[in-house]
């Protein structure tokens, strides 16, 4: 066998083995990247589903306590918020209308329960629920105050009490802060999504360049 054939045979064998080795390395690299991408996606999903109210959490917690206290105060005459909600005899004597009962129910359900759940769990969806419910409570509170100011004179009903006015102002404060929390989270989500799209485009471009070099 000539020296040319002796030199070319190992080199030819190496050239034949190179694509096979590359094919074996590619799935291994993909297998290594897949868990990392899965972990990154799970972490991103967790972050985008949570809120970070920061100092607003203290304001919301205090507002929830004030709202609970306002329900124990008179909403009209001798009827407090609990009397209004259950339509107790004191509420019947004051001719409490439906808007007042709806306001107390929405304030408890969304201003207290949903707000506390959103603070404890830090779930973005619950923050949205608290925002929507307290926003409706603002409108219901305004109707409740208006209904107490427009009762027929012959009924002898009292006007809006301190508990009703304080509760209405408190749900306004809660709505304002939930708007800030939800909006800041929405803006952060949009920025994160834009960054993810840019990173994906850059990765695709790098993969295309590598394929061209390999080809």
The predicted pLDDT at position 25 comes to 47
Decide if pLDDT at 31 tops 70. Answer: no
Question: Quick one: pLDDT at residue 152?
Answer: 73
Residues 77 and 42 in one domain: no
Domain of 40 in residue numbering reads as 1-48
Q: Indicate whether 92 and 188 sit together in one domain.
A: yes
Residue-level pLDDT at 113 = 97
Domain assignment present for 202: no
Torsion of CA 118, 120, 122, 126, to 10 degrees: -20
Say whether both 102 and 170 belong to one domain: yes
Residues 98 and 157 in one domain: yes
Looking at residue 208, its pLDDT comes to 72
Q: Could you tell me if 34 and 79 lie in one domain?
A: no
Write out pLDDT tens, residues 139-171. 999 999 999 988 877 777 788 999 999 999 999
Q: How many domains does the chain have?
A: 2
Q: What is the mean pLDDT of residues 192-214?
A: 71
Q: Is the pLDDT of residue 26 over 60?
A: no
For range 104-127, the mean pLDDT: 94
Question: Does 131 reside within a domain?
Answer: yes
Q: pLDDT at position 129, please?
A: 95
pLDDT tens, position by position, 170-189 = 999 999 999 998 887 665 56
* pLDDT class of 21 with cuts at 50, 70, 90: very low
Q: State whether 40 and 102 are in the same domain.
A: no
Q: 182 and 121: one domain? A: yes
pLDDT at 14 over 90: no
**Is 10 domain-assigned?**
yes
Q: Answer whether 144's CB lies under 8 Å from 164's CB.
A: yes
In percent, the amount of the chain with pLDDT more than 90 equals 46
Per-residue pLDDT of 39-76, as tens digits, reads 555 555 555 678 888 888 999 999 999 999 999 999 99
The pLDDT of residue 28 is: 43
Does residue 127 lie within any of the structural domains?
A: yes
99 lies in a domain? yes
The pLDDT of residue 189 is 60
Is 178 found in the same domain as 77? yes
pTM, full prediction: 0.69
Q: Would you say residue 143 lies in a domain?
A: yes
């Amino acid at each position: 066998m000539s020296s040319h054939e002796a030199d070319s045979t190992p080199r030819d064998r190496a050239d034949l083995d190179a694509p096979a080795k590359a094919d074996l390395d590619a799935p291994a690299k993909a297998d290594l990247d897949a868990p990392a991408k899965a972990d990154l996606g799970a972490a991103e999903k967790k972050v985008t589903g949570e809120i970070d109210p920061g100092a607003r959490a203290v304001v919301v917690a205090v507002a929830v306590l004030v709202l609970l206290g306002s329900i124990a105060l008179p909403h009209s005459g001798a009827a407090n918020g609990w009397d209004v909600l259950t339509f107790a005899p004191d509420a019947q004597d004051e001719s409490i209308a439906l808007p007042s009962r709806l306001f107390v129910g929405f304030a408890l359900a969304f201003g207290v329960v949903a707000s506390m759940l959103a603070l404890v769990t830090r779930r973005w969806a619950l923050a949205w629920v608290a925002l929507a419910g307290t926003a409706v409570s603002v409108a219901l509170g305004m109707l409740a105050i208006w209904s107490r100011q427009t009762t027929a004179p012959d009924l002898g009903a009292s006007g809006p009490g301190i508990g009703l006015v304080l509760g209405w102002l408190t749900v306004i404060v809660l709505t304002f802060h939930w708007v800030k929390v939800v909006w800041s989270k929405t803006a952060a989500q949009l920025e994160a999504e834009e960054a993810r799209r840019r990173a994906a485009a850059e990765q695709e471009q790098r993969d295309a360049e590598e394929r061209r070099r390999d080809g």
